[in-house]
Chains A and B, each alone.
Chain A
Amino acid sequence: MLLSPLLAWVVPEYLLYIGNVLMMDAMLALGLDVLLGWSGQFAFAHIAFFGIGIYGTALLDMRAGVPFLLGMPLSALLAAAIGFVIALAAIRLRDVYLALATFAFALSMQWLIRTWDSLTGGPDGLRIAAPALFGIVVGTDRRAFVPMAMLLASMLAAMLHLTRSVLGRSLAAIRDSEHAAAASGIDVRRSKIAAFTISAFCAGVAGGSYTLFGSFIHPDDLGIWQLVQVLTMIVVGGSGSIGGVLLGVGLIGVLPELLRLAPAQWLVWQELAYGLILMLTVMFLPLGLRSVLRRNLRTTVPPRTRRGTPTMEHTAP
């Protein structure tokens, strides 16, 4: 974080671009993990909230002249509000219904963006005008790097705070046993709705942050396939822990860039690769790569020094 202005100054533009994408992915993945890893809820709507963040921020800026610093939080709040409504309706039902309702919501949002072309540009996509921060036009990867780092840092701080808060601990308890949590006086319904809303807000912020360095968005970029990529990051790194999610984002996020270096005919196998990685990870490392690192740490580091790393297992009441 403190190094980021320095990095933004010396590092080549392409690496900064990768850095920006990874930071955006991290925000997206952290938000999804609030649902998946912390409270065990399976929801697909995340990619739709991401889209609301992108299109909301970009359109508010371009069509209504609302600056980024106001437009991005507004879009994220809109995402959170929609998330709240969906959660309210679906949370009282079985898990399967939440998964299916959010699946349908994500696809219908994609359809809406594609069909409402007078507003969103529809299937032609939307060219995003570079937003301005305090009178300085951002738009390039170099200029976006520091604001991105600041956004990610604030989200990380909020997440760390959340893991130790009453809500974070309640969610961990719900994930482990809903009945035990309810019996010990946790309002399961309220906690789940809160998790869903927070998760949607994070996705909205991640979407808004894209407008800082991205110049183009297409409805095809907001499909289930993009969600699967975020899901892969969480699962590979280890869901339910901030460190694990960041690890997964780092490993899986650079995969498309590495594939870009590979011969062009390999690109066709990308989808297969993701599917294989997902399946093999849940088969052999159900707790993600984090669990391997931890196991090795445990043997080398005396237990007392590990207390500083907050993960959900430790904070569970």
Chain B
Amino acid sequence: MLMLKLLQAAASGVVTGCIYAMIALSVVIIYKATEIVNFAGGELVMVGAWLGLLLVGYFGLPRPVMLLAVPVVLFVLGAAFDRLALGRIARRRPSRRLEHATLVVATIGLSNLLKGAVRGIPYTQEVRRLPPLIGGAPIFVGDVVLERQDLAIVALAAVVMLALWAFFRYTLPGKALRATSQNARAAALVGIPVAGMRMSVWGLAASLSGLAGVMLAPKLLLTPDMGDVVTLAFAAAIIGGFTSLPGCVVGGAILGIMQNLVGTFIAPQAIAVTPFFVIMLVLLLRPQGLFGDTVGVRRV
């Protein structure tokens, strides 16, 4: 019985962990490229979820179309935010130290802007739920119950992550992005359009968040506040070291499983506080996480 409970908790933990990992990836690629913690990451998830619901539930589009449309729209949104707001601030440069705080404040502004905009739309006044991505009876593996939809989520997340990995590893734009993250000035010297790269990182990150939103939406009730999930992504990213993409995936899985175990074996209300404790403990005991760069060194 205990074994079954453990397995079941691990199985559902992996599913939610995949979603956390996607959001964490979105936060980390922005951090790697621009050293900004994107506090609007959760709101991009929320916008993706509502957009998915709007397209499927209101306009009646088929789901594959929605799965393509959401990342595209979010890409434009993310790129536009970088271009219109962040690019402008970076060009003005009041002072270097102040600039960083200012850019973070801009993402907090975006977070409130998106939350407020969604809250203002009458369609969101009612609590809604996205219909499952795939219907059908659950599958039994031994005694562990697996929902078809959960399998779809894991499969989709795996495809996205593999695609992302291949993109960064094998394609020219992906390599250019990595070069920009490592050293923007050197990248500019070899002819990489750094501003454009930053914009595409923001676009890419927003699409990832949007997709995560679509994956999360059937499992949660949709509210304008569902962006709070970003805390879990921060925790996942910190477990992984905050600069490592595989770290996000491992961190997401660890966190998802841990939450389920805490919910099953300790207390349901302790689930909410798990990510906060994880963040603080990891930062205290092993700030570089599992795979992160050494910390404490700051570039001049």
Contacts and interface: CB of A to CB of B under 8 A. Distances in A.
The judgment on whether A and B are partners is yes
B111 A282 contact: no
Interface in A94-115: 94-97, 99-101, 103-105, 107-108, 111-112, 115
Contacts of A101: 279-280, 283
B234 A271 contact: no
Interface string A22-41: 00000000000000100010
B89 A286 contact: yes
A175 B98 contact: yes
B120 A275 contact: no
Contacts of A115: 269, 273
Contacts of A275: 109-116
Interface string A168-200: 000000011111000000000000000000000
Interface stretch (A1-9, A85-93, A203-211): A85-93
Nearest to B108: A228
A279 B116 contact: no
Contacts, number: 145
B2 interface: no
B101 A100 contact: no
B105 A108 contact: no
Interface size class of A (residues with CB under 8 A): 35 or more
A179 B283 contact: no
Contact of B283 (A100, A176, A286): A100
Contact of A42 (B99, B101, B106, B280): B101
B95 interface: yes
Given A108-B277, A271-B112, A272-B117, A286 B104 contact: no
Given A42-B101, A92-B296, A104-B231, A282 B276 contact: no
B110 to A, nearest CB: 6
Contacts of A105: 276, 280
Contact of A276 (B113, B235, B242): B113
Q: Which secondary structure dominates chain B's binding surface?
A: helix
Contacts of A287: 94, 98
B105 A278 contact: yes
Nearest to A92: B296
B106 A282 contact: yes
B160 interface: no
A79 interface: no
A156 B4 CA distance: 62
B24 to A, nearest CB: 12
Contacts of A99: 37, 104
A215 interface: no
A273 interface: yes
Interface string B215-243: 00000000000000001001100100010
A293 interface: no
Contacts of B284: 89
B267 to A, nearest CB: 10
B105 A104 contact: no
A178 B109 CA distance: 27
Interface string A276-307: 11110011001100000000000000000000
A11 interface: no
Nearest to A96: B37
B119 interface: yes
From B88, B115, B116, name the one whose CB has the most chain A CB atoms within 10 angstroms.
B116
Given A104-B276, A271-B116, A276-B109, A179 B94 contact: no
8 contacts: A96-B242, A99-B37, A100-B283, A108-B276, A177-B96, A239-B98, A269-B116, A272-B120
Given A115-B273, A275-B114, A287-B94, 9 more contacts: A95-B100, A97-B283, A104-B277, A108-B280, A275-B109, A275-B113, A279-B109, A282-B89, A282-B102
Interface of A: 36, 40, 42, 89-90, 92-97, 99-101, 103-105, 107-108, 111-112, 115, 175-179, 225, 228, 231, 235, 239-240, 268-279, 282-283, 286-287
